[in-house]
Structure 1
Amino acid sequence: MKTYFRLLSFAKPIEKFAIPYIIATLLAVFFNTFNFTLLAPLLDTLFFDQSSATGAMKVAGQWDLLAQFKNYIASTVEHFGKEEALKIVCAVILASVLLSNFFRYLSQRFMEDLRVHTLLNIRKTVFNNVMNMHIGFFNNERKGDIISKVSSDVQVVQFTVTNTLQVVFKEPLQLLFYVFVLFSISVKLTLFSLLVIPVSGFIISKIVKRLKEQATATHESFAKMIGFLDEALSGIKIVKAFNSTERTKEKFHAENQFYSNLNRKMVRRQQLASPVSQSLGIFVIVIIVLYGGGLVLSGSKEFTASDFIMYIAVFSQVMQPVKAISDSFSGIHSGIAAGERVLELIDTEPQVVNKPDAIELKEFKESLTFENVSFSYQDKVVLNNISLTVPKGKTIALVGPSGGGKSTLMDLIPRFHDPKSGVIKIDGLNYKDLTVESIRSKMGIVNQESFLFNDTIFNNIAFANPDATEEEVITAAKIANAHEFILGQEQGYQTYVGDRGGRLSGGQRQRICIARAVLANPPIMLLDEATSALDTESEKLVQQALNNLMQNRTSIVIAHRLSTIQHADTIVVIEQGEIKETGNHSELMSHNGLYRRLIDMQAFTD
């Protein structure tokens, strides 16, 4: 129940929807019940002679409103005849049915508003929390699992919350109205017939006992399937290049089959509750017909034949709310299982957050420094006791063997992670005393993977500054050596680049990424192997763009090709998480150390 009430909190302000829903439902239930009670005066009017009908309908021991109406119809039959009474009964039935459906529509409308409102709040909260997560979170979680929680699980949760609210209020209320009418006709018969409800509830509880466990497994299997689908689509070139299409299809089919089997078992168990409750209801109705019919045939004064038919009609409807409640219990297990997965994501705390008293970094004036910084992923040490100063306006190159910690060091600069020990400062201010947003606003990033959004070239460049004018975007593109090829596109700057920029070449994508960084106009540039995946011609164009980008800026560069960073003011050689050498190109070459060996190896390879 704790999980359910937490999910229900997303419906706030719930009273805005609940109060009108309660009023509309109350009226809908009243008129729906009244519809069935009108069966008795209708039958008396149609099938009994005037004297018997008059005597049968003049009653006082039943539901007051019904008794008054029956007496009124009896009086009408006595004074004006059956045809006039029939017109009145039909008019009341028509009005009651119309009012019942009208208020039922209103109640459903208010509940739908609550459902949409709840879905909006849950999905907003989940997505906001996901976007606030630190970068390490996405390295450890399956993307498919996150997508499944934000889409499928949230959908299941919001239906469960609203459907349960509906069942908890409407169905018990409808059941009470039906039971009240049944007791007004015959207390003894009703006490016997209602034994079916606790018996039905006990049997159904046994049926749905394992539903939560099955629902959890189903949600997890669906998440795996979505994750595999995402990987297959993202790596479609690799799949086809290695003739792995059939193997990929078989792998997806195996997970799909597993999910389908789980889903089938769960649905079968859910569907079993309804026929069980209905079968028990029919069994009791048969007993009621035998017992009550015997009383009518024997001339008992307990109730009339028309009242007995009305009784059977009303009791046949008693199982509808019981069935709805039993179906709701089976649905709740699936919703709670999905809700626990969603709440787990909501409850995950981002590791990089602003302190309550964090201040904003107004501008970058002096230097960026690392003081004895260490970092590790779980138990693996990636950086060990790094001390480094990056003066304003200088270009610092990070080089070294793969896996040495260069990219991790770069990720610490925009505070994608916090160091496990040591301090990072900018202009003498501790990173943790500054807001994350103000730190990142002073930095532009160009990665090896040139990621573009499935949007126009213009909007991809303007992503860094949504308020940029067309002139500013074009200027940034020119600096990035991208203007000429953009004009050659079919729709120029309004050309769509496709998923992840797939309609453009690698060099074109990278130059648009550089233009995006230029438009942000940050004082610090972070370049993570920005030319490593390019051919010679593209590399030349991109390198020219990078040189333009780094002018008059502080730049920190991870270089794949060491020839591109020989002009750097300082070259930092990192191996196994430690700084091995520091100096400019000439100094490091004269040391005849690791940097010299890397240069010689690359020259030999080239």
Structure 2
Amino acid sequence: MKTYLRILSFARPYSEYIPQYLLFTTLSILFGLINFTMLIPLLRVLFDQVDPAVQAEMLTKPDFALNVDYLISLFDYYFAKIIHNFGKVGALVFVCSITLTSVFLTNLFRYISGLTLAKIRAKVISKLRIRIFDQVSRLHLGYFSNERKGDVMSRITNDVQEVENSVVSTLKVIFRDPATIIGFFAVLFFMSFKLTLFTLIIMPISGTIISEITKRLKRKATQSQESLGRIVNILDETLSGMRIVKAFNAREWIGEKFGKEVSHYARVNVSMARKQELASPLSEFMGIFVVTGILLYGGILVLNDNSELEASEFIAYIILFSQILPPAKSISNAVSSIQRGLASGERIFSTIDTMPQIEDKPDAVAIEGFHRHITFEQVSFAYENEHVLKNINLSIDKGKTVAIVGPSGGGKSTIADLIPRFYDPVAGKIYIDGIALTDAKIDSVRKLMGIVTQESILFNDSIYNNIAFGKPNAQEEEVIQAAKIANAHEFIMNTPQQYQTVIGERGTKLSGGQRQRLSIARAVLKNPPILILDEATSALDSESEKLVQEALTNLMKNRTSIVIAHRLSTIQHADEIIVVQNGHIIERGRHDQLVEMGGLYYKLTEMQTVS
């Protein structure tokens, strides 16, 4: 129930929709009741059960009163006048006209209430999907290392869709169907207290059996959604890595892996369907069982003249009671169906409730600019229990270029990730101009930085929008100038639609060098005082590297640059080179100084010279 109410909380403010939904639903129920209560006077007339003396009394208009008896007497008055003036045929026409009008109004109000419910549903789902997307975008990078991307995607797409199908679509269960049942039972109690009390004694049998079935659905629903998340993950990995799948002839292997998960998903769904599909026929059978019991019990009472109901009233009673079965069945189906949506809702809320490990403090300050230096003081960092940085002390002055080199896995990229606060150190502090990053607003820190990584992160959009990413108000002249500085303008002008050319998913329509130059143009447009280059040229061929290196040189002018380099030839002119191994800074100095030392840096340069 807690999850259900939390899902509905996304419809707030309720005042926009709930009052009109309640109004039109109530009107729909009332006119629905009128449809069937019209049967009683009609049956009385047709079966000649209206005594002439009683009919004469009915021709006297009742005195006004605020109660049900007055309304009944008033209807009887007009009905008696029609019988008196027009006979049975006239009475039949009268009742049919009222019934037709009532049915029209019932369906009109049901339609309007359904539209209102559709608006609530659309609002809930839109807000829920936006909320989980916003939450995912706020989470720290470590979250995505531990979670399967496909599972995260499944929560935003499939789980939200499941919530819409099986939770929000059953909102009518909250009011319309229960209110319909209550309304009909009120009329039934008015007609025969004894008979209606009998129905309430035997009906819980049906409810108890169905509730036992629904309890077993939730666990299977959770397993189903988790399996679907794994299917999406396999699809994402396969489509992204199709080149490798084909190159290693791994199509059969990946197909078998996909097939196993799909088969598991099918088995779980069949198991769940056994229980879910049982609820509907069982509820229908139990409903007919109750009606049969009423027919038997009530019929005996009527036949033995022990009932307060006449034969025509008893027939109307049975018809009225039969109208309780559809909403009761609807509630039964909704309750069994809703378990799957609640399982999806819990998966969604588990993501929404995940606290980002990197957040602003309540009293965080904004860093307005970069003026002096970046400082690491006794900084250590660990991924879970594995320490990758240990007691790092480092100072990077404004305007300087500092290169970080060393063997793979030594902690170079981790140092770069700590500066824009993608992660926080487990020990020590990092300062910008004397302000600890943990005391600063995250947006203000990242606003100071431009980042170019080994993998060019581009989007399936136009070249223009990829360069202007993060600066939507950029002028066209600024975008073109940034492309020129990044040595990208020439190849852009040779594309079919030039700056409006769509580059495909992750920029697959471009070469590696072209993609990297767009990444550099994006950083140029941001014009940051601090630049972080994480092996920005290591994946390029020699010709592309030359063009990209020229672009990087243009970008690094008059900026503070932290360069993580694999190819040491690209950082020989750095103001300082930091050599990192096993999480420690083991050497530091200029290129010529480190070569003279004959240490690890010298060995690395020798290895690359030989190769």
Aligned counterpart, 1:459:
465
Aligned counterpart, 1:402:
408
Relative to structure 1, the CA distance from residue 50 to residue 169 in structure 2 (aligned partners, 3 Å threshold; closer, same or farther) is: closer
Alignment of 1:83-482 (within 5 A): 83-163=89-169, 165-294=171-300, 296=302, 302-482=308-488
Distance in 2, matches of 1:337 and 1:473, equals 47
- TM-score using structure 2 length: 0.94
Matched, 1:48 2:50: no
What SS does the aligned partner of 2:394 have? strand
Cα deviation for residue 355 of structure 1 reads: 1.6
What SS does the aligned partner of 1:455 have? coil
Distance in 2, matches of 1:197 and 1:550, equals 79
Q: Deviations over 1:214-272 (max 9, x none)?
A: 11111111111111111111111111111122222222122112112212221221221
Residue type of the alignment partner of 2:31: F
Larger CA deviation: 430-439 vs 80-89: 80-89
Matched, 1:80 2:86: yes
Residue type of the alignment partner of 1:187: F
Quick check: 1:482–1:512 contact (8 Å CA) kept in 2?
yes
Distance in 2, matches of 1:469 and 1:15, equals 43
What SS does the aligned partner of 2:415 have? helix
Cα deviation for residue 503 of structure 1 reads: 0.5
Cα deviation for residue 159 of structure 1 reads: 4.9
Distance in 2, matches of 1:83 and 1:39, equals 15
Q: Deviations over 1:516-560 (max 9, x none)?
A: 111111111110011111111111111111111111111111111
Residue type of the alignment partner of 1:25: T
Cα deviation for residue 302 of structure 1 reads: 3.3
Quick check: 2:167–2:342 contact (8 Å CA) kept in 1?
no
Quick check: 1:44–1:57 contact (8 Å CA) kept in 2?
no
Relative to structure 1, the CA distance from residue 515 to residue 288 in structure 2 (aligned partners, 3 Å threshold; closer, same or farther) is: same
Cα deviation for residue 163 of structure 1 reads: 4.5
Alignment of 1:31-70 (within 5 A): 31-45=31-45, 47-49=46-48, 65-66=71-72, 68-70=74-76
Distance in 2, matches of 1:145 and 1:301, equals 62
What SS does the aligned partner of 1:177 have? helix
Distance in 2, matches of 1:134 and 1:108, equals 41
What SS does the aligned partner of 1:518 have? helix
Distance in 1, matches of 2:561 and 2:157, equals 40
Distance in 2, matches of 1:264 and 1:253, equals 16
Matched, 1:530 2:536: yes
Distance in 1, matches of 2:516 and 2:372, equals 30
Quick check: 2:44–2:50 contact (8 Å CA) kept in 1?
no
Distance in 2, matches of 1:473 and 1:530, equals 21
Q: Deviations over 1:483-517 (max 9, x none)?
A: 11111101111100000001001110000100111
Matched, 1:561 2:560: no
Distance in 2, matches of 1:264 and 1:180, equals 40
Distance in 2, matches of 1:56 and 1:267, equals 57
Aligned counterpart, 2:13:
13
Relative to structure 1, the CA distance from residue 256 to residue 393 in structure 2 (aligned partners, 3 Å threshold; closer, same or farther) is: same
Distance in 1, matches of 2:50 and 2:350, equals 71
Q: What percentage of aligned pairs have identical amino acids?
A: 53
Quick check: 1:455–1:496 contact (8 Å CA) kept in 2?
yes
Residue type of the alignment partner of 2:535: E
Cα deviation for residue 449 of structure 1 reads: 0.3
Quick check: 1:144–1:225 contact (8 Å CA) kept in 2?
yes
Quick check: 1:398–1:574 contact (8 Å CA) kept in 2?
yes
What SS does the aligned partner of 1:308 have? helix
Quick check: 1:63–1:184 contact (8 Å CA) kept in 2?
no
What SS does the aligned partner of 1:125 have? helix
Distance in 2, matches of 1:51 and 1:203, equals 44
Residue type of the alignment partner of 1:83: V
Distance in 1, matches of 2:534 and 2:169, equals 51
Distance in 1, matches of 2:208 and 2:52, equals 43
Relative to structure 1, the CA distance from residue 299 to residue 79 in structure 2 (aligned partners, 3 Å threshold; closer, same or farther) is: farther
Q: For the aligned residues, what is the CA RMSD?
A: 2.2
Q: Which runs of 5+ in 2 are unaligned?
A: none
Cα deviation for residue 297 of structure 1 reads: 5.3
Distance in 2, matches of 1:498 and 1:558, equals 28
Distance in 2, matches of 1:157 and 1:185, equals 41
What SS does the aligned partner of 1:416 have? coil
Larger CA deviation: 564-573 vs 300-309: 300-309
Distance in 1, matches of 2:219 and 2:444, equals 46
Distance in 2, matches of 1:290 and 1:389, equals 92
Quick check: 1:196–1:281 contact (8 Å CA) kept in 2?
no
Residue type of the alignment partner of 1:116: A
Distance in 2, matches of 1:150 and 1:7, equals 14
Alignment of 1:490-569 (within 5 A): 490-569=496-575
What SS does the aligned partner of 2:255 have? helix
Cα deviation for residue 563 of structure 1 reads: 0.8
Q: How many residues align?
A: 604
Larger CA deviation: 165-174 vs 286-295: 286-295
Larger CA deviation: 262-271 vs 229-238: 262-271
What SS does the aligned partner of 1:120 have? helix
What SS does the aligned partner of 2:469 have? helix
Relative to structure 1, the CA distance from residue 238 to residue 563 in structure 2 (aligned partners, 3 Å threshold; closer, same or farther) is: same
Distance in 2, matches of 1:193 and 1:465, equals 68
Quick check: 2:203–2:290 contact (8 Å CA) kept in 1?
no
Q: Deviations over 1:258-305 (max 9, x none)?
A: 112212221221221121121122123233334444555567773333
Relative to structure 1, the CA distance from residue 509 to residue 357 in structure 2 (aligned partners, 3 Å threshold; closer, same or farther) is: same
Relative to structure 1, the CA distance from residue 54 to residue 201 in structure 2 (aligned partners, 3 Å threshold; closer, same or farther) is: farther
Relative to structure 1, the CA distance from residue 206 to residue 64 in structure 2 (aligned partners, 3 Å threshold; closer, same or farther) is: farther
